[in-house]
Structure 1
Amino acid sequence: MSKGLDYFKKVYDTVPGWVQKMHDYNPDMLDHYTALRSAAMSDGALSVKEKDILLVGMNAGRFYARSMVYHTKGAIDGGATIEELIEYLVVPMLVGGEQALQISLQSFEYACEYTGKEIDVISHDSSPEEILVYYKQFTNEKAYLQQILEAMAEQNETALSAALLHSAKVSTEMKHLLITGCYTARLQNAQTEEWAKKTRALNVEEAKLAELGYTCLLTAGIPAWFEISDALMAK
């Protein structure tokens, strides 16, 4: 088995069809992609677990369920809890609104199935309020979700943003990184710069922003690096 095929078998427990086809059509391409992914997803300023779970949230924020679910497995394998996952799935609502929250249910359901947790599922067309109430069953941070619900009821965008970014199981610093990543993966340059500045203001080291960019590159391609590189400070 080639190094690329072996690498992805270790990541996913099986060789995904898209990996096998890349190998079959151009083994060199798979080798180069494997090297890129391996470098981007190694421990550094951000841990592998943090990168995987950020990618879960970023893909929810850009409405790409397939990659979101792939990285849900990685996040759980890396030690992420269901409670942490819920917050990474809720925060992208700040970027992608109702659709991001609805798509997040696929990650949550996969995580519960993967960890052997039996749950009652709800419709993927549920309202944001219904989804947040549903998630409250599975976390001790009920007050965090309640604050979000109250801000939504008041239709107060400032309060909603503050509630979503508030530290609970996940720190406000990581939530700011997530929003920066969401905008990067959506190739929204102005918002990427804005949120990189907000993240930097929380004393998040520049290396974490750079590593966030590497993970964005994996899910949204080279253009994602163009976007976040504009926001990074020159060395």
Structure 2
Amino acid sequence: MLKKRIIPCLDIKDGTTVKGVNFEGLRNAGDPVELAKKYELEGADELVFLDITATLEERKTFAGLVRTIASELSIPFTVGGGISSVEDVRLLLEAGADKISINSSAVRDPDLISVLAKEFGSQCIVVAVDTRLVNGTDWVHIKGGRERTRLRTLDWVQQAEAAGAGEILLTSMDGDGTKNGFDLRITRQVAEHIGIPVIASGGAGKTEDFQQVFLETKATGALAASVFHFGEIGIRELKKELQSKNIAVR
């Protein structure tokens, strides 16, 4: 059995860490380099960096900031935002990223997943899926959640796996920033539909939420932002609590 991973996320806008609710109302959450150093010291298993406006602003991810953060880390580091080519990925890997995350570009061109997996290996390719329940159906959204696609979430994750994705980062837009708990329903469905690891994201508010998502779904990782950024949950204490519930963590 894969040990469960605790993964802080740095949502980056204009070079600083931000956090909102349901993808809106962003507020400053601190310096990304200092947060990255802090999370490594606290025992985070991985770190995710998402340049959340890169695609919307039609620009590339800040490679310089990625390089600075990577120089402070020894844990796996995933980078996403504005990635749409082999050259983009190579630049970020050379800057120190261990994995890259693609979202809108993969939806626009699903062949990109296969191209990148062939060039760099599936273990390097994370497909991020922003999902929202609309009129009883789970739909994939792109462009930072601003645009609904015609892709049903379960269909898309299966397609992404078949194309060569090594992991799915599943964000419930309905749960994002609410602190009401992870979306167990869609996380459970996605994790049971595919054979690659699933990271649950969106809604963490207390330690029990992490227990629930690991005990009640097959997610192998749980990602959170604001509860870590603003000191509401400590990673070291969270891991001790999970271990006390017989949940195997790294």
User: Same fold judged by TM-score > 0.5?
Assistant: no
Question: If the TM-score is normalised by the length of the shorter chain, which range does it land in?
Answer: 0.3 to 0.5
TM-score, length of structure 2 as denominator length? 0.34
Which of the two has higher C-alpha Rg?
A: 1
Considering fraction of residues, name the structure with more strand. Answer: 2
